[in-house]
C-alpha cells in the first residue's frame, strides 16, 4: 500500500526561482530564502518520496480565463516548465504519475469532489519555483514523480478555505487506499501575505503570517472558517492563495509534528517553508471501506461488450493522437491535413502505430487505441465520411448492414459550411472513402 509520509509547505514567489537560477545564496539579501529551503530539501532527501502531490495555482499562464476551473488534477505523463514571458527556466521536465493520478481522481470524485483533469500543459513558477529549491535535479531529470493539483484562486468565486480543507482529507484517503507500494508527500505552495495589484500593491502583514503559521498547526478549523474577503484583508488579495495550504493540512491528522518552519520577508511576499508529520496511521478497515466506495461507480463496466469507458488512463495514453485529431477543428490545420497528411503526422510526432491507424481510417482500431469517439466524427467531417459509416465500421459491419438495424436510413455528420456538397448527402449514396 502507498505510504503518506507527510506534508511540506512553501511559498512559490518567482523570486525564489530567480535567486536559485542565479545562485544568489551568498548574497545577504537572499541567504535567508536559501536557508528556509535547506531543511525541506534535507527532509525530502531523507524520506525519499516516489511521488509528490503538489498543490499549486497557475498564474494565468497555462490556465487562461476562457475556462477557469476550481480543482484541476494533473494526470499527464510529463510536466514541462512554462514560458512566462522571456523563455522558460532551464529546468528538466519532470515525470508525472498517471496511474496514481487516475486513482486519486476516482477516489476523490467518489467523495463528491467534482475535479477537472489536465495534461499537456506546462507548469509555471507556482510549481517550479519552490520545487527547484526543494529537490536536487540535473539534466537527467528529477528523483521523484509529480502530480500537480491546480486550485483556481485567481478569479472569484474561488474554492472556500473549508472546501480546500475537506479536499485534503479526501486526498489522504485517496493516497492511503492506493494499492501500489509508493511513498507520497503532499506539498502545498502559495502565500504568505502579499498583494501584487492595485493601490494596495506591496501590502504585507507579518503579524498575520505568524498567527497563520500557528493556527495552521494548532487550529486549522479557525482558518477554514475565514471567508475569502477576510483572508484578503488579513493577508492581501493574492495572499488569500494560502487556502491551498489547507488542502495539505486536511490530509494530515488533527495533531501533527512540526519538523521544520521558517519565515522571511525579503521583498513583496512573506516567504515561509514548513514540514509536518502525521501522528496517526489510518485504520485498515477505513481504507478497505473507502476502496469499495471508490470502485462502486465503475464496477461492472469492464464487462460491457464493445464498450470502452473513457477513463483517465485511456485519455493519457492517446493524448497525442486525440490532440492531433482535435486540431482539425482549425481551418488551417484541416487544410494542411488534406493537402499532405504524412507531413502533419511527422510534425505532430505521431508514432508509426498512430499514423497507421489514421492513414487506414481504422475507426475501430482508433477506439481500441484510446481515441475518444468525438475525434472520429471530426476526422469524418474533414474527409467527408458520415457518422453512420463510422458507426458501422466500429461494429465491423458494412453501412448497409448497420442501416438495416436503424428505424430510418439517414446519413449525417458534424460537417459545417466548409464541407461543400457531400456525395452521400446529395445523391443518397454511401461514402466512397473507406
Give, in degrees to the nearest 5, the angle at Cα 84 between 150 and 344: 90
Residues in the chain: 434
Task: State the Cα–Cα distance between residues 281 and 53, nearest whole angstrom.
Answer: 19
CA atoms within 13 A on the CB side of 238: 23
Do the bridges between strand 116-118 and strand 256-264 make them parallel or antiparallel, or are there none, so unpaired? unpaired
Question: Is the torsion defined by CA of 66, 72, 76, 80 positive or negative?
Answer: positive
- Which residue among 12, 56, 194, 290 is the active-site one? 194
Is 279 one of the annotated active-site residues of the chain? no
In whole angstroms, give the CA distance from residue 280 to residue 290.
Answer: 17
Kindly state the DSSP code that residue 306 receives in the 8-state scheme. T
State residue 371 phi and psi, 5-degree precision: -75, 140
In angstroms, the CA 99 to CA 109 distance is 15
Which one of the listed residues 12, 125, 290, 389 is annotated catalytic?
125
Q: What Å distances lie between residue 369 and 96, 226, 313, 320, 363, CA to CA?
A: 21, 47, 11, 12, 10
Cα 349 to Cα 263: distance, rounded to the nearest angstrom? 46
**Rounded distance between C-alpha atoms, residue 222 and residue 203, angstroms:** 23
Characterize the bridge pairing of strands 3-10 and 145-151.
Answer: unpaired
Residue 280 host element (H or E): none
Distance CA 213, CA 191 (A): 11
Closest CA to 56 of 99, 97, 13: 13
Q: Are 384 and 411 in contact (CB under 8 A)?
A: no
Grid cell, residue 219, equals 487550529
- Other beta carbons within 10 Å of 213: 21
Residues annotated catalytic, as ranges: 125, 194
Amino acid at each position: 500500500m502507498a505510504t503518506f509520509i507527510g506534508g511540506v509547505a512553501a511559498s512559490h514567489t518567482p523570486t525564489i526561482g530567480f535567486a536559485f537560477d542565479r545562485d544568489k545564496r551568498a548574497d545577504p539579501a537572499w541567504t535567508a530564502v536559501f536557508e528556509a529551503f535547506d531543511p525541506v530539501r534535507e527532509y525530502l532527501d531523507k524520506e525519499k518520496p516516489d511521488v509528490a502531490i503538489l498543490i499549486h495555482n497557475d498564474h494565468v499562464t497555462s490556465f487562461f480565463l476562457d475556462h477557469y476551473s476550481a480543482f484541476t488534477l494533473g494526470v499527464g505523463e510529463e510536466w514541462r516548465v512554462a514560458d512566462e514571458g522571456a523563455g522558460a527556466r532551464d529546468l528538466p521536465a519532470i515525470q508525472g504519475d498517471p496511474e496514481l493520478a487516475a486513482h486519486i481522481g476516482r477516489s476523490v470524485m467518489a467523495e463528491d469532489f467534482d475535479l477537472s483533469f489536465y495534461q499537456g500543459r506546462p507548469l509555471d513558477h507556482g510549481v517550479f519555483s519552490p520545487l527547484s529549491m526543494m529537490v536536487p535535479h540535473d539534466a537527467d531529470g528529477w528523483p521523484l514523480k509529480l502530480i500537480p493539483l491546480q486550485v483556481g484562486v485567481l478569479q472569484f468565486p474561488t474554492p472556500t478555505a473549508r472546501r480546500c480543507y475537506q479536499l485534503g482529507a479526501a486526498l489522504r484517503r485517496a493516497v492511503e487506499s492506493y494499492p501500489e507500494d509508493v511513498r507520497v508527500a503532499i506539498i502545498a505552495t502559495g502565500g504568505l501575505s502579499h498583494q501584487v495589484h492595485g493601490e494596495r500593491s506591496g501590502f504585507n502583514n507579518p503579524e498575520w503570517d505568524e498567527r497563520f503559521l500557528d493556527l495552521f498547526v494548532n487550529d486549522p478549523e479557525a482558518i477554514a472558517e475565514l471567508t475569502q474577503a477576510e483572508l484578503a484583508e488579513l493577508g492581501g488579495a493574492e495572499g488569500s492563495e494560502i487556502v491551498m495550504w489547507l488542502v495539505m493540512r486536511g490530509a494530515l491528522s488533527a495533531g501533527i509534528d512540526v519538523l521544520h518552519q521558517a519565515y522571511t520577508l525579503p521583498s513583496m511576499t512573506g516567504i515561509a517553508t514548513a514540514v509536518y508529520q502525521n501522528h496517526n496511521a489510518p485504520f485498515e478497515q477505513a481504507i478497505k471501506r473507502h476502496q469499495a466506495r471508490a470502485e462502486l461507480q465503475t464496477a461492472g463496466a469492464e464487462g460491457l461488450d464493445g464498450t470502452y469507458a473513457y477513463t483517465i488512463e485511456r485519455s493519457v495514453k492517446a493524448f497525442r493522437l486525440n490532440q492531433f485529431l482535435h486540431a482539425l477543428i482549425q481551418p488551417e490545420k484541416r487544410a494542411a491535413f488534406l493537402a499532405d497528411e504524412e507531413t502533419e503526422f511527422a510534425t505532430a510526432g505521431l508514432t508509426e502505430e498512430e499514423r497507421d491507424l489514421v492513414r487506414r481510417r481504422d475507426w475501430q482500431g482508433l477506439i481500441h487505441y484510446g481515441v475518444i469517439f468525438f475525434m472520429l466524427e471530426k476526422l469524418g467531417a474533414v474527409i467527408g465520411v458520415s457518422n453512420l459509416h463510422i458507426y458501422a465500421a466500429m461494429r465491423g459491419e458494412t453501412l448497409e448492414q448497420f442501416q438495416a438495424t436503424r428505424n430510418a436510413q439517414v446519413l449525417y455528420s458534424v460537417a459545417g459550411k466548409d464541407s461543400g456538397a457531400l456525395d452521400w448527402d446529395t445523391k443518397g449514396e454511401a461514402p466512397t472513402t473507406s
